[in-house]
Amino acid sequence: MALNVEYPCFGSGEPTRLSADAIRRLGADLRQRLLGYTARPFQPAELFHRAASLRVNGRPLRIVWDAAHAVHDEAGEPVLGVCEHDPQEPATVMISLNGELLADQPEMLRSTAAHELGHAIFDMPAAVAKGAARAFRSGAIAARDAAPIDWREWRADEFMGAFLAPRRQLARAFAREASAFGAAIRWKVIDEIPTPYLAANVAGWSAIDAIAGALAEEFGVTSAFIGVRLRKYGLVG
């Protein structure tokens, strides 16, 4: 049975301008419905199986996953992943993850899979409806840091961040780990939710880095990834 995903969109299927919070809520909600609300690192194969059939704003979307082969851009340069639609395959999106590069990097495999899933959910319904070819390639090895990221990439990244480390789940784990490290947590209200907060000038960045390392192992991502989410969620500052 296809899992329903809904967000504000135009008649074409293109999303309206979505806030970061709206994208994060959708990512966290979909993570819970697909994989359950636990911090344990999910197995990519489990995601591939559960996210194979979606209905996005009423439009059916079949996702075919491949993580066994190399992936390149149009110039032949290796990339981490690609999300694409072929007009010859109606209502079907192909997500290919670079097996050669990611096989021994489970953290990067998870983040790339979630990023490409974001493209499938937000960017592909309109392409499928039009019968238009479209492809989004992520992580060109040579130029990823130098290339400007457009709003579609930003949206996929925000979705990925919340999918891998939902805000409420990360906040609870952060409070637990910070207490274990003896850090002085303060609490503040964000969106009417009591939220733990750690001031870097009080706890010190070395303590925050240690906490991020523990959380990275728990969530199955990198410490750098956790550091970004802690700042974006307002848990450290």
Greater pLDDT, 181 or 116: 116
User: What sign results for the dihedral spanned by CA atoms 165, 166, 172, 175?
Assistant: positive
Answer for the pair 227, 219: CB distance below 8 angstroms, yes or no. no
Alpha-carbon distance 22 to 162, whole Å?
10
Would you place residue 167 in the very low, low, confident or very high pLDDT band (cuts 50, 70, 90)? Answer: very high
pLDDT at 194 over 90: no
Mean pLDDT across 64-92:
93
**What pLDDT band is residue 102 in, cutting at 50, 70 and 90?**
very high
Residue 153, CA distances (Å) to 34, 42, 150 in order:
22, 23, 5
pLDDT at 141: 42
Mean pLDDT is lowest, of 57-71, 84-98, 192-206, for 192-206
- Is the pLDDT at 40 greater than 90? The verdict is no
Q: Across the chain, what does the average pLDDT equal?
A: 91
DSSP conformational letter for 27:
H
What is the pLDDT averaged over residues 189-193?
A: 80
Whole-structure pTM value: 0.91
Q: Which SS3 state, helix, strand or coil, does residue 84 take?
A: strand
- The full DSSP string for 36-49 is -S--SPPPHHHHHH
